[in-house]
Structures are given as structure tokens and as C-alpha cells.
Amino acid sequence: MASITCQPLSDEEIARLVLLQTVVAENRKSFIRIKPGNIILPAAFEKVKDSIKNWHVREDDIYVLTFPKSGTTWTQELVWLLQNDCNFEIAKAKTLDERFPFMDFPLFVGFIKSDIPQFLKGDMLAMLEALPSPRFLKSHLHFGLFPDDLMEKCKIFMCLRNPKDTVVSYYHHVKLSKDNAFIGDFPAFFDLFMDDLTVYSPYFEYIKEVWQRRNHPNMCLLFFEDMKKDLGASVRKVAKFLGKEVTDAKVEELVDHLSFDSMKSNPAVNKEDANVNMFKEDGHFMRKGKIGDWKNYFTDEMNKRMDEAIRTHFTSVGLEFQYE
């Protein structure tokens, strides 16, 4: 098992972030770099890294692991409903955060000044450990930070999204935060993303880690763009992986429930509950959910830089995305 170490960011990196991230301006030690992987995470990770690496994995655990803004919520709701025999009543009565908790939440507690729901307070990892089986767990952490037996013991769902739309969606997400606000413009965020200075970066290494595991029998790999273009096919793919039979009528019901408009207006998943209160009122956690919105933000120079990174990282391993 590789040793996980935590290092401070360089003075130059901190100087860049101080100008753009309010939490760094308030505390220069807010973020650290994790090795192996050169991963950027909140400094609170250092306190829980051993607990996560030594996490007790149960064989009936179900994980949704994604890079931020890559169809995470969509995948969670789909997986939870199929595994729970399409119980829409419970899905609407309990928030997705309650049904499918976010393992990484302890990393961000120090940034949050606003009120949060009671179930998110206290020792999150201890609470997750005490959950009855089967547990549904979500994380954006890289594979190397998890127990070595994670993939061998339980079912894992991963959803990939093309990097151009991912960076745009991620930008809007960090602008939405009340407590960890990004105060720069999109070009500034794009530069941080490409220089591996956004939280959970490096993006390209994260995606390659996923891609190399795509044929593992405990992995179900989804693509945001496939779900957008033919959600019914993705529903059937997930159902088959879980060993669930679904009728055509049930698939139609799921597709309707999981449509972007339905999800955006569903308080159980859209994170706009007044009790959460972590996002600005002039934005939405679920924004557009489209393919190709990057064209409204990228300059020609940005597109050239991104295309070069895509060729460098993805072409050689046979990974292709849809961009419109």
C-alpha cells in the first residue's frame, strides 16, 4: 500500500489562489497537495487520510465515484432508484444527501459558515461506518486514496464527462458557493484547471485512472453524453449491472423522473433546500446539463490548449468524448 503524504503548496501557487479564492485569502494553508498523484485537496484531508485509506469496505457497498460536475447527482439518483426497486416515494421524501452521503464532506466543513443540516454535523466518517447495509456512498477522491480492496469487494459506478463542458460546469459551481467563493472570471479558472490547481485536480490523471479500470467486473462506467442522448439505454445498462429487471414502462418512468427539468425542480436532489443554505440565491446547483455549452466560454486559444491536453492524455489510451 503506497504511503499517502501531504505537502504545502508552493508560495507561487498560493499567490495565484489568494487572488481568486476567498478561503485561501483568509487562510493560506487552506489547500494542500497529496502524493502520490499531486492531488489538490482541502487541508482537512490530512486528518482523515488514514481513516479513508483504511476504510472498512463492505461487499454490498455501492459507490458513485466521479470528478466534480460530471453527472454525479444524475448517476446517484439513477443507481439508488434501481437498487431500491424504483421507490419514488422515498426518493422524493428523503434528500439524496441522506440516501447517498458524500464521503468527502468532512474536508469542506472548515469552509462552511452557513447552517447545514443536522445529519451533516459531527463525525461524518463514523456516521457512515454506522450506516446499515447496503450503504450508498459518493466521493470525488482519486482511486489511490481509497482502500486497495475497494474495487475487489463492492460495486462502483463512475460517470465521465468531456473535459470542455466539465471545466465550464465546475467554474459555475465554485462561483455558486457562499463560503468558498471563486472571485475570478472563467479564463482565470480555466488556467487553474489546466495547471492542476483546482480542488480534486489533476483532472486528466483522474480520468485515466478510471479508464484503465473500465473492464473490471465490479465497475460500471457511464458517460454523461450517452445519458443525455439516450437515458433509457443508460437506465438499462445500470439495471443489468445491478441484476435488476425493469419493464419498458418502468424505464419510461425512470427517464421522466431523471430528466434534467424534473431533477432541477426536485427539492430532494437539487440542493436548493433552505436548510442547506450553502449556495448563492442568484444561481442553481443544477444549471444547464447540456453538451457543448463550452462553446459559449472558450476562446480559440483555450480550445487549442485543451485539444492539445486531450491528445496528450487521452488519444494514446483510446478514450474519446462527445463534445456537442
Per-residue pLDDT of the chain (324 residues; tens, 9 = 90+): 568 999 999 999 999 999 998 888 888 899 999 999 999 999 999 999 999 999 999 999 999 999 999 999 999 999 999 999 999 999 999 999 889 999 998 888 777 766 666 656 667 888 999 999 999 999 999 999 999 999 999 999 999 999 999 999 999 988 887 666 789 999 999 999 999 999 999 999 999 999 999 999 999 999 999 999 999 999 999 999 999 999 999 999 999 999 888 887 777 775 555 445 555 445 444 556 789 999 999 999 999 999 999 999 999 899 999 999
What is the predicted pLDDT for the residue at 308? 98
What's the 3-state SS for 95-150?
CHHHHCCECCHHHCHHHCCCCCCHHHCCCHHHHHHHCCCCCEEEECCCHHHCCCCH
Question: Residue 201: which residues within 8 A CB-CB, separation 6 or more?
Answer: 39, 40, 193
Domain ranges in the chain?
Answer: 56-317
| CATH hierarchy code of domain 56-317 | 3.40.50.300
Give me the active site residues, please: 140
What sign for the dihedral angle of Cα 289, 295, 296, 300? positive
What is the predicted pLDDT for the residue at 184? 93
Question: Residue 150: which residues within 8 A CB-CB, separation 6 or more?
Answer: 55, 57, 63, 143, 156
